[in-house]
A and B are shown apart, each in its own frame.
Chain A
């Protein structure tokens, strides 16, 4: 537990300590949303209809941006090799990193999402649902991302490979994430979608530390 907390604090300190990584991710998220009205035209009805999808796409892409700093800096300076010899199980190290990744690459997006809601002409109920669905769905994205980052950490230029690897895994998250927001015609299935989203996140969070730890252990030093 002590080692787990040590990794948590260290990575939080590194992520927040003046590197500007978090700000980059938030700006990317906001800009992706902000250019959409220019691309699809200023049709307010259309915008508010596709807004949930835009928010989810922006969040997905922004989180991919933070993926490369999950293990790569540790791999480059030799820390990752030492984690493999540490008293703390590697899965616990990965779990701490997934939590830090969510705190520094997903939570800031949720905090910044009101900005997108304004830009995309969302009404308040839709916005509230968006926040809930992001809160429930982004942990799954963080967990899948950790698997992708772990598999590609020893590959050069693997930073570009990880998003391609995990995109198929993230499709269900996007489907249910948007499903939990969309207020179109027909019966309201948002409740069921939210439950699916929560189930996805819980499963992914429970399994990903072990999967990622296995990938790191098998990767060559």
Chain B
């Protein structure tokens, strides 16, 4: 159905990366490589720095040392990554379809249509509802739909399965599988099991 290799093959590389919050160093000397079609699961206890690492990879938090680079990415193509954090960026008083159409306009209509993306995450029947009425799990599904309307090769997901039901867990796994199959790459921080052959695991130790 979907063509393979729809993403330009880029790879993510971090060398001697150190990141933390304020003066608190959480991770140091981290080297990581993620190739097209591969995913990296970040595991570790609460406070180990999974979210901080994702923010640093996304460029939202300046790293305390080392560097993060994206190989094969043409800056002309616009931003290469989607970040999906704890907060869903869903605002009451905007409709579900409106919210998604907004993100499509902001990030460019390079992926699925709004309705197709809503169908994929199972929100199409309530597309007209005010997004403020959604449950936590439905808001998370709406946030995931944002990744589908604009195509970007790198996904950085922070606990994507939080608040989702078992059906939602399967949805995340199938979205990831499809994304990786198309040549995308992903870094996922999670405590849940996501069973995919293309996923490697990186365990982060707790800091004393």
Residue ranges of A at the interface with B (Cβ–Cβ < 8 Å)? 2-3, 5-7, 10, 13-14, 17-19, 73, 76-79, 81-88, 220-221
Contact = CB atoms under 8 A, between A and B. Distances in A.
Contacts of B150: 87
B105 A6 contact: yes
A37 to B, nearest CB: 38
Contacts of B78: 87
A79 B94 contact: no
9 contacts: A6-B102, A13-B93, A14-B93, A81-B60, A82-B83, A83-B106, A84-B59, A85-B60, A85-B83
Interface residues of B, number: 28
Given A85-B83, A86-B106, A78 B89 contact: yes
Contact of B81 (A79, A85, A88, A220): A85
A61 B58 CA distance: 38
A6 B102 CA distance: 6
A78 B93 contact: no
Contact of B93 (A17, A81, A221): A17
Interface of B: 55, 58-61, 78-79, 81-83, 85-91, 93-94, 98, 101-103, 105-108, 150
Nearest to A78: B87
B81 A78 contact: no
B106 A81 contact: no
Contacts of A6: 101-102, 105-106
**4 tightest A-B contacts by CB?**
A78-B87, A6-B105, A79-B89, A78-B89
Contacts of A17: 93
Given A77-B90, A79-B89, 18 more contacts: A3-B105, A6-B102, A7-B106, A10-B98, A13-B94, A14-B93, A17-B93, A81-B83, A81-B85, A82-B83, A82-B106, A83-B106, A85-B82, A85-B83, A86-B79, A87-B108, A87-B150, A88-B106
Contact of B58 (A14, A79, A85, A87): A85
B83 to A, nearest CB: 6
A77 B62 CA distance: 21
Contacts of A73: 91
Contacts of A3: 105-108
B55 A221 contact: yes
B104 to A, nearest CB: 8
Contacts of B86: 78
B85 A10 contact: no
Given A6-B106, A85-B60, A14 B83 contact: no
Contacts of B55: 221
Nearest to B101: A6
B102 A77 contact: no
Contacts of A76: 87
B180 to A, nearest CB: 20
B102 A78 contact: no
A5 B98 CA distance: 14
A220 to B, nearest CB: 6
A32 to B, nearest CB: 28
Given A19-B93, A85-B79, A78 B85 contact: yes
B87 A77 contact: yes
A87 B85 contact: no
A88 B103 CA distance: 11
Nearest to B104: A6
B83 A5 contact: no
A83 to B, nearest CB: 7
Contacts of A87: 78-79, 106-108, 150
B97 to A, nearest CB: 13
Contacts of B59: 84-85
A220 B63 CA distance: 11
A77 B82 contact: no
B61 A221 contact: yes
